[in-house]
Amino acid sequence: MPHTADSRSETEKRDLRTGQPLWLSDGPPKLAVRQTPRHTRYDVIIAGSGISGALTAWHLCDGKRRVLLIDRRPPLTGSTPASTAMIQYEIDTPLTKLSEMIGKEQAVRAWKRSAKAVQRLGEIVRLENIPCGYTEKPALYLAGDEFGFRALQKELEARKAAGLTSRFIPAQELRDTYGMDRTGALLSEPSASADPAQLTAGLLRRAMDSGLEIVSPMEVGDFVATGAQAAVTLSNGQILTCGHAVFCTGYEFLKSLESREHRIISTWAISARSRSKLPDWLDNHIVWEGSDPYLYFRTHTDGHVVIGGEDEPFETGHMNAAKLERKVATLVKKFEALTGVALYPPSHRWAAAFGESTTGLPFLGPVPGHTNIHALMGFGGNGITFSVIGAEIVAAAISGNPDPDASIFAFPGDADAP
């Protein structure tokens, strides 16, 4: 089922992934969920139990607000557990390119906000003591066929001028220190990697300690918003009222917000063990490249190498079983050729729906025309970083202190964004 027009729900419905992600080896993390809501009135109702919904709930649950999170699937079985969870401030669109698209000032603000979000996520994980293998390590962005040596140098200058931490690694140093043969690379901080399923489960558990109620499986159908009130219908026919509703429904967009500015594509990933001891640098960096299609990789704390990429611009490509086998072989071959590290056959292989927007930025904030209906959507390669920003923007709006960067990430047509 690629994407069906389910008339009862405001959100699309699609098959989000195939295969078996590393993070679900023992099944999704267990959470205490209810089958039906305890109340008929909430301060906030969140749809979606992935990283976006979890971060939003974590920000909003203060022991005073009544917050309900609803998912049409069992918790943590959407796109989040398919993520390779490289947590970076370097967003899909280089700063130089984004400046041409939306202007230098806005682009610098978007990039700087991303850097702050990565730092903030690390703080939250430490504060809440979430066991998810969260490891801070610099990111190495390799020159590739789309973004080569000269483009990297221009990018470095733009980042330096914006006050972002990046260093140019010339070809010789790249060969000597990392054993990789490219014309250059940018080394940047802050960045990190984690187990996305455990990260999300940890956030949800902490929010539950502060009063979050989770109902699953249950679908949010349609919504109506009038002034300061909203009402949502559920798939069991119940109608709930709330002050705010937040749609954190990942790649199942709100149908009313479908637009040419973002689209669903397909992506592939594997995890595998190395046939020999991994070089130290590989354990201490995350790596990606300026090529199309691109390759990216990092290690996990359990010793697996996690590799992804080979994106295709088709929303159902990830459903094709024969293609999965071909993509797995390509990812292994490219990784081994680039790093010289030989792998055992992959222990896990998976494919998933993924996103892309015209600017590389997501859409976060109020749904145009509704001040108390919010949505976080349009995520690409930096989905987790953008989920942090989205949760902050929505929590600020609900608390009545609009986020100063809200307009950068606003939905087209949201004239009220500050």
Ligand X SMILES: Cc1cc2nc3c(=O)[nH]c(=O)nc-3n(C[C@H](O)[C@H](O)[C@H](O)COP(=O)(O)OP(=O)(O)OC[C@H]3O[C@@H](n4cnc5c(N)ncnc54)[C@H](O)[C@@H]3O)c2cc1C
Residues that bind ligand X (CB under 6 A): 9, 11, 16, 47-53, 70-73, 78-80, 82-87, 219-220, 248-250, 252, 267, 269, 308, 352, 354, 379, 381-385, 387
How near is the Cβ of 201 to ligand X at its closest, in Å?
A: 12
CA pair distance 367, 373, nearest whole angstrom: 6
How near is the Cβ of 146 to ligand X at its closest, in Å?
A: 18
How near is the Cβ of 75 to ligand X at its closest, in Å?
A: 7
Closer to ligand X by CB, 128 or 222: give it: 222
How near is the Cβ of 415 to ligand X at its closest, in Å?
A: 25
Beta bridge pairs of residue 244: 44
Closer to ligand X by CB, 47 or 152: give it: 47
How near is the Cβ of 183 to ligand X at its closest, in Å?
A: 24
Closer to ligand X by CB, 159 or 348: give it: 348
Closer to ligand X by CB, 161 or 239: give it: 239
How near is the Cβ of 287 to ligand X at its closest, in Å?
A: 11
Q: 135-159 burial by CB neighbour count: b if 16+ within 10 A, else e?
A: bbbbbbbbbbeebeeebbeebbebb
Which of 293, 351, 354, 295 lies closest to 322 in space, CA to CA?
Answer: 351
Interacting residues of 287 by C-beta distance below 8 A, sequence separation 6+:
139, 140, 142, 296, 297, 298
Q: Is 49 exposed, middle or buried (0-12, 13-18, 19+ CB in 10 A)?
A: buried
Helix (H) or strand (E) holding 336: helix 321-339
Q: Is 1 exposed, middle or buried (0-12, 13-18, 19+ CB in 10 A)?
A: exposed
Residue with structure tokens 């004239």? 415
Helix residue ranges per DSSP H, 94-195: 95-102, 104-128, 149-162, 171-178
Packing angle between helix 196-209 and helix 104-128, nearest 10 degrees? 70
Closer to ligand X by CB, 70 or 341: give it: 70
Closer to ligand X by CB, 72 or 159: give it: 72
Helix (H) or strand (E) holding 326: helix 321-339
Length of the chain measured in residues: 418
Closer to ligand X by CB, 52 or 166: give it: 52
- Amino acid present at 47: A
How near is the Cβ of 47 to ligand X at its closest, in Å?
A: 4
- Amino acid present at 338: L
Contact between residue 376 and residue 398 where contact means Cβ atoms under 8 Å apart: no
Contact between residue 318 and residue 352 where contact means Cβ atoms under 8 Å apart: yes
Which of 86, 88, 93 lies closest to 107 in space, CA to CA?
Answer: 93
3-state secondary structure of 257: helix
Residue nearest to ligand X (CB): 383
Q: Please compute Rg for the chain using Cα positions.
A: 21
Closer to ligand X by CB, 214 or 343: give it: 214
How near is the Cβ of 55 to ligand X at its closest, in Å?
A: 8
> What DSSP assignment string belongs to 188-214?
EESEEE--HHHHHHHHHHHHHHTT-EE
How near is the Cβ of 335 to ligand X at its closest, in Å?
A: 15
How near is the Cβ of 170 to ligand X at its closest, in Å?
A: 26
How near is the Cβ of 173 to ligand X at its closest, in Å?
A: 25
